[in-house]
Structure 1
């Protein structure tokens, strides 16, 4: 089996490079290190099931016959891969842009000085005409942007060319911007001061919202962190920055708590995009004041018109297993439906969850014929049918089973999947 892995503290370039390899090498499985960056964890919370990656801890290295290492140049940067360092007959392939400190002896090496490792893989994918979806393109764009500061530093013409290639293939700039970690300098500090002085704060159904609308200098970008700092300092449930440098358009950046407001829905209504906690949009032919009024109106609608779990949840049948079923049968059910976990129910009563990881552990220790009731995780997150989807997005990031139980009076009435939530983030 061919596996793909990367460095601990996985960033977007590392994740994007892993996923690109699973497309370049059909059948390859990506092993995700235990430690990933917070923004990457948020991204994986609703996208992991469409990517061919599994947690490193769930995988037995004895199955590996080929190893692809991306965005890393040293064994010590990998997550518990030492056992492979001296394995005879193991094929090792490297895709990397770090030129110094290399101690991985690979039979096939692709190591060049570009801004992002995923750029090298994208060039190969374009050469082979490898197909990928717009959601993959968005992740690959995040990989390049995160390692080059959105093409501001450590960038080459090859990175910029691949950005154009990704945009032509459906990368969503608005969704990508919701995950980017931006920087602050003296010019940004001046804007931040103006936000603190002139920002408007109002309340809708106990939800506290701030709007800062202003003119800024041409060329000043990367303002998302200022909006988030403003939100936290003022103790707001959501904040929106409206910035105009060009007389023909306004940039709107939103940050918020998904429990109270769906920022992504507001941004999509403005022609942009994002996820429930963050997003951005460009409004053409408007003034900051006019854009602020549009945002106010949409905030009022968002606070009153939640998309509820009951509107998007899936029937529970294929996600349920009885407590006396063996771990082996449960693993077959998981594989047959391409899931990452199940819910264990005794008749109509929900007992808890069972993850793919537990099934693999049982098989490894020779306990795959024991009933699943011995492996049930009882302390799982539960939703009610009137829970908002924006709140569910936050809970999904920590759901080991990859699904959330919808219950009523202790009984399972539905299941919320990552696909259900994806339909609330992307426009299809």
Structure 2
């Protein structure tokens, strides 16, 4: 067994480096410390099942033959890895951008003074010509940006910028990245925010409240997208569109939405821009649309939008794999492996008694437990949802309940199931493999 781990109080560079390393070393398992920073915790609450990661206490140290350490070179910063320090039969590989002269004696290391550890791993991914999907590219970009201050810290090197360009070329989403990064909040941002709040024009459409604004910029201000996200939350609207007039030639339009009914990416696609349902942007030449016409056209598009937005019925997987409560745990493991699924409902289509997920299988420590019926290990509290629920509401429910599977029930019958993967596929616009 080979594992990849990093330092306690894990930041995004460390998390991104773990994810990249699990791809570079096939079959490896990422081990995330129990203490992570706030933004990483928020990210993992919705994305953890998208990656092959576990917690330190879930590792059997006796099975480990290779330890891959990323973003640190000090044993004291690792969680529950001390037993491996004493063993001579464990190969240790190290990836790090810090130059601390730590005490981890690795048999191989890549330790160079670049802006972020993930930059070193991206270099290797590029060398191997590895294929990255938009989700992985976005996570790696967040890690790179966090440790380089959006490529502005003095420690940033040319290779960091090249890695960022590579990730953007592979679908990294800056709109998603801005949500999980702590944006700088300087005097210029404060002034823009106050100006937007004073000049907001609101209109209602089908019970949704939309804010729209035209702001003239007298200088270039970075991270406007993050300020627009903050602005929408402060004025408490379902969506906002801010038209920033750059000069007499063009405007930059930034949109943010908190409801699936208003797809700002599609709306701004009308102006040659794009994005996804929650975030989008466009740069518009005044020769095509002056600012007031941009505003009028956005209002028109919003009011003429189709009323049939996506629901969980469009996302759910079916048919649903269900087993009786007497099914042995060994059979549960076999079904998950054969069908490549992480969760199985217990009961029948008219009566859900419980659910067993991949993480529950880690509870089995003795061989004879695999002969036990699934009802002995299943979670009896199952949250179900109707087919007309919006994806954002399903995602919010997953975060609140810390669950990754939601059976879809219609007229007392299970008709499908929505997983974290389904939600991620929808929001990131990825097609299943």
TM-score by length of 1: 0.87
Deviation at 1:4, TM superposition (A): 0.8
Name the structure 2 match of 1:310: 313
Deviation at 1:366, TM superposition (A): 4.9
Name the structure 1 match of 2:73: 73
**CA contact under 8 A between 1:309 and 1:389: conserved in structure 2?**
yes
Whether 2:357 is the aligned partner of 1:355: answer yes
Secondary structure at the residue paired with 1:304? coil
Deviation at 1:42, TM superposition (A): 5.3
**CA contact under 8 A between 2:175 and 2:225: conserved in structure 1?**
no
Whether 2:231 is the aligned partner of 1:230: answer yes
Name the structure 2 match of 1:83: 83
Distance (whole Å) between structure 2 residues aligned to residue 78 and residue 326 of structure 1: 37
Distance (whole Å) between structure 2 residues aligned to residue 288 and residue 82 of structure 1: 61
Q: Extract unaligned runs of 5+ from structure 2.
A: none
**CA contact under 8 A between 1:58 and 1:361: conserved in structure 2?**
no
Distance (whole Å) between structure 2 residues aligned to residue 268 and residue 328 of structure 1: 50
Greater alpha carbon shift after TM alignment, 59-68 vs 253-262: 253-262
> How many pairs align?
425
Where do residues 151-300 of structure 1 align in structure 2 (5 Å cutoff)?
A: 151-153=151-153, 154-258=155-259, 261-263=262-264, 266=267, 271-274=273-276, 276=277, 278-285=278-285, 286-300=289-303
Larger radius of gyration: 2
**CA contact under 8 A between 1:252 and 1:283: conserved in structure 2?**
yes
Distance (whole Å) between structure 1 residues aligned to residue 248 and residue 95 of structure 2: 44
Deviation at 1:47, TM superposition (A): 5.0
Secondary structure at the residue paired with 2:371? coil
Distance (whole Å) between structure 2 residues aligned to residue 259 and residue 352 of structure 1: 30
**CA contact under 8 A between 1:350 and 1:410: conserved in structure 2?**
no
Secondary structure at the residue paired with 2:27? coil
Distance (whole Å) between structure 2 residues aligned to residue 295 and residue 7 of structure 1: 47
Distance (whole Å) between structure 2 residues aligned to residue 59 and residue 258 of structure 1: 40
Distance (whole Å) between structure 2 residues aligned to residue 142 and residue 364 of structure 1: 40
Where do residues 392-403 of structure 1 align in structure 2 (5 Å cutoff)?
A: 392-397=394-399, 402-403=404-405
Distance (whole Å) between structure 2 residues aligned to residue 8 and residue 242 of structure 1: 42
Distance (whole Å) between structure 2 residues aligned to residue 415 and residue 65 of structure 1: 38
CA gap 1:259/1:101 in 2 versus in 1, 3 angstroms: farther
Deviation at 1:267, TM superposition (A): 5.4
Name the structure 2 match of 1:17: 17
Whether 2:416 is the aligned partner of 1:425: answer no
**CA contact under 8 A between 2:116 and 2:147: conserved in structure 1?**
yes
Greater alpha carbon shift after TM alignment, 147-156 vs 125-134: 125-134
CA gap 1:176/1:314 in 2 versus in 1, 3 angstroms: same
Whether 2:375 is the aligned partner of 1:373: answer yes
Deviation at 1:312, TM superposition (A): 2.6
Whether 2:337 is the aligned partner of 1:321: answer no
Counterpart pick for 2:418 among 408, 416, 419 = 416
Name the structure 1 match of 2:98: 98
Q: Deviations 1:346-385 (Å, cap 9, x if unpaired)?
A: 4531123212121121245852221111222233332101
Deviation at 1:20, TM superposition (A): 1.4
Deviation at 1:282, TM superposition (A): 1.9
Greater alpha carbon shift after TM alignment, 187-196 vs 48-57: 48-57
Distance (whole Å) between structure 2 residues aligned to residue 251 and residue 180 of structure 1: 21
What is the RMSD computed on CA atoms of the aligned residues? 2.9
Deviation at 1:402, TM superposition (A): 3.1
Distance (whole Å) between structure 1 residues aligned to residue 4 and residue 91 of structure 2: 12
Deviation at 1:194, TM superposition (A): 0.5
Deviation at 1:49, TM superposition (A): 4.7
Distance (whole Å) between structure 1 residues aligned to residue 396 and residue 265 of structure 2: 13
Q: Deviations 1:203-241 (Å, cap 9, x if unpaired)?
A: 333333322321224431112342233333323333333
**CA contact under 8 A between 2:135 and 2:428: conserved in structure 1?**
no
Distance (whole Å) between structure 2 residues aligned to residue 224 and residue 349 of structure 1: 46
Distance (whole Å) between structure 2 residues aligned to residue 386 and residue 196 of structure 1: 34
Name the structure 1 match of 2:4: 4
CA gap 1:315/1:222 in 2 versus in 1, 3 angstroms: same
CA gap 1:38/1:315 in 2 versus in 1, 3 angstroms: farther
**CA contact under 8 A between 2:3 and 2:29: conserved in structure 1?**
yes
Bigger relative contact order, structure 1 or 2 (CA pairs below 8 A, ≥6 apart): 1
Distance (whole Å) between structure 1 residues aligned to residue 257 and residue 193 of structure 2: 17
Distance (whole Å) between structure 1 residues aligned to residue 43 and residue 253 of structure 2: 21
Where do residues 18-57 of structure 1 align in structure 2 (5 Å cutoff)?
A: 18-41=18-41, 43-44=43-44, 48-57=48-57
TM-score by length of 2: 0.86
Deviation at 1:296, TM superposition (A): 3.2
Q: Extract unaligned runs of 5+ from structure 1.
A: none
